[in-house]
Structure 1
């Protein structure tokens, strides 16, 4: 069966066929590849933005850790 080969996340193969048929009726066969290309580009940009956010978050966390270390060192020298 298809569902054992490809994990569809709870979507039955018959439901997938209906969705594809409706998409073909709405957009036509020539427009579907353009839509898929746009979807792929959007996913790629989303993943890149996620990676950048994670990098920025890690850098901010490192800066906070360094600041805390400096503050702790200064507090110890004042005592």
Structure 2
């Protein structure tokens, strides 16, 4: 099994080293990146909730429309 086809022998130690080097390189920008990522996730969730609300309104509107009763 090759989880990373481009890095076949990548172990835990190598991942820790890569994470440490990445933290050293991008550490000063990391809080702003995480903040913008959090805002993006929040906006995505709001968009999904808005779509769900529109679907719920459409379904309930369809249920409220009843055919006329012809008793004649």
TM-score, normalization: structure 1? 0.58
- Runs of 5+ consecutive residues of structure 2 not aligned to the other structure: 1-11
C-alpha displacement of 1:50? 1.1
Stretches (4+) displaced over 2 A: 14-25
| 3-state SS of paired residue (2:70) | helix
Please state how far the C-alpha of 1:19 moved relative to its aligned partner: 5.7
Aligned to 1:17: 16
Match of 1:4 in 2: none
Structure 1 Cα separation of the partners of residues 16 and 31 of structure 2: 17
Distance 1:18 1:42, change over 3 A: farther
Task: State the superposition RMSD in angstroms.
Answer: 2.6
Give unpaired runs (5+ residues) of structure 1. 1-13
More helix by share: 1
Aligned residues: 60
Scaled by the length of structure 2, what TM-score is found?
Answer: 0.63
